[in-house]
């Protein structure tokens, strides 16, 4: 990621004196409510979720962080007066950007010899990163998700980790709701089959 984007890293602490044109001069301090909305509060409110989506899509904390920062830059250049649902806009931007990166990464991995392994991140430490229902989206399952198409993976993650409604998944992926349901169903079947395969292989060796 370029240095000018890194310079825009968003911290969890917004500026405490927004709107002050001269430090220490109370006459020039504009009340927060009167300041134009820079989108920071809306972004910070969903930032953990954005990271959670990107990380589960990409399996890399570093790449997920880059995606979140790219989304922040896009959010800053967007006419937010036209955005009806900021959280939905940000989640959509994150998901679509992660899909694009996944497609590019897959072409690069074609020359890589060896298994792909996700970077371990404890998503249970922050509820905003998404709920791991059972072991539904632990590292082992992220490896299985690598075999899914990018849209299937996105649909599965949005549904299983963040409990998005199918109509919302459809909007994010630009699909009909029925097609979004099919993506999730296929993804669940692939994951279930992937879980059974190692066990079946073990049974075969045991009886060989």
Angle between helices 177-206 and 150-160 (to 10 degrees): 90
Which pLDDT score, from 0 to 100, does residue 137 have? 53
Count of Cβ atoms closer than 10 Å to residue 103 Cβ: 11
Mean local confidence (pLDDT), 70-90:
95
Which pLDDT score, from 0 to 100, does residue 191 have? 87
Which pLDDT score, from 0 to 100, does residue 186 have? 95
Chain CA centroid to CA 207, Å: 43
The pLDDT tens digits for 82-126 are 999 999 999 999 999 999 999 886 655 544 445 545 565 655 555
Alpha-carbon distance 124 to 52, whole Å?
10
Which pLDDT score, from 0 to 100, does residue 192 have? 87
Which pLDDT score, from 0 to 100, does residue 147 have? 83
Count of Cβ atoms closer than 10 Å to residue 174 Cβ: 11
Which pLDDT score, from 0 to 100, does residue 162 have? 92
What secondary structure letter does DSSP report for 120? P
Q: Burial letters for 176-203: b for 16+ Cβ neighbours within 10 Å, e otherwise?
A: eeebbbebbebbbebbeebeeeeeeeee
State pTM to two decimals.
0.69
Mean local confidence (pLDDT), 129-138:
49
The pLDDT tens digits for 146-196 are 889 999 999 999 999 899 999 999 999 999 999 999 999 999 998 888 766
- What DSSP line would sit under 136-183, residue for residue? TTSHHHHHHHTTS-HHHHHHHHHHHTT---HHHHHHHHT--HHHHHHH
Which pLDDT score, from 0 to 100, does residue 204 have? 45
The pLDDT tens digits for 23-66 are 344 443 334 343 456 799 999 999 999 999 999 999 889 999 99
Instruction: Return the domain boundaries, the chain.
Output: 3-206
Token pair listed for 50: 């954005």
- The three-class DSSP label of residue 208 is coil
The answer for residues whose C-beta is within 8 angstroms of residue 108's C-beta and 6 or more apart is none
- What DSSP line would sit under 1-37, residue for residue? --HHHHTTPPPSS--SSTT-SSTT-GGGPPPGGGSPP
Token pair listed for 97: 């950007």
**Residue 19 vs residue 99, higher pLDDT:** 99
Decide if pLDDT at 139 tops 50. Answer: yes
Which pLDDT score, from 0 to 100, does residue 158 have? 95
């Amino acid at each position: 990621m370029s240095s000018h984007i890194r310079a825009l890293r968003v911290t969890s602490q917004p500026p405490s004196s927004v709107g002050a044109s001269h430090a220490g001069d109370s006459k020039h301090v504009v009340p927060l409510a009167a300041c134009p909305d820079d989108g920071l509060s809306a972004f910070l409110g969903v930032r953990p979720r954005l990271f959670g989506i990107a990380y589960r899509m990409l399996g890399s904390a570093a790449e997920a962080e880059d995606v979140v920062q790219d989304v922040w830059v896009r959010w800053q250049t967007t006419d937010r007066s036209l955005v009806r649902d900021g959280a939905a806009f940000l989640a959509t931007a994150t998901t679509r950007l992660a899909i694009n990166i996944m497609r590019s990464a897959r072409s690069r991995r074609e020359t890589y010899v060896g298994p792909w392994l996700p970077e371990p991140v404890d998503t249970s430490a922050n509820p905003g990163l998404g709920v791991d229902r059972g072991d539904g989206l632990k590292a082992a399952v992220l490896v299985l998700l690598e075999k899914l198409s990018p849209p299937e993976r996105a649909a599965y993650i949005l549904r299983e980790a963040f409990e998005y409604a199918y109509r919302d998944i459809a909007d994010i992926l630009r699909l009909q709701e029925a097609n979004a349901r099919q993506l999730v169903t296929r993804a669940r079947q692939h994951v279930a089959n992937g879980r059974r395969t190692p066990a079946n292989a073990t049974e075969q060796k045991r009886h060989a």
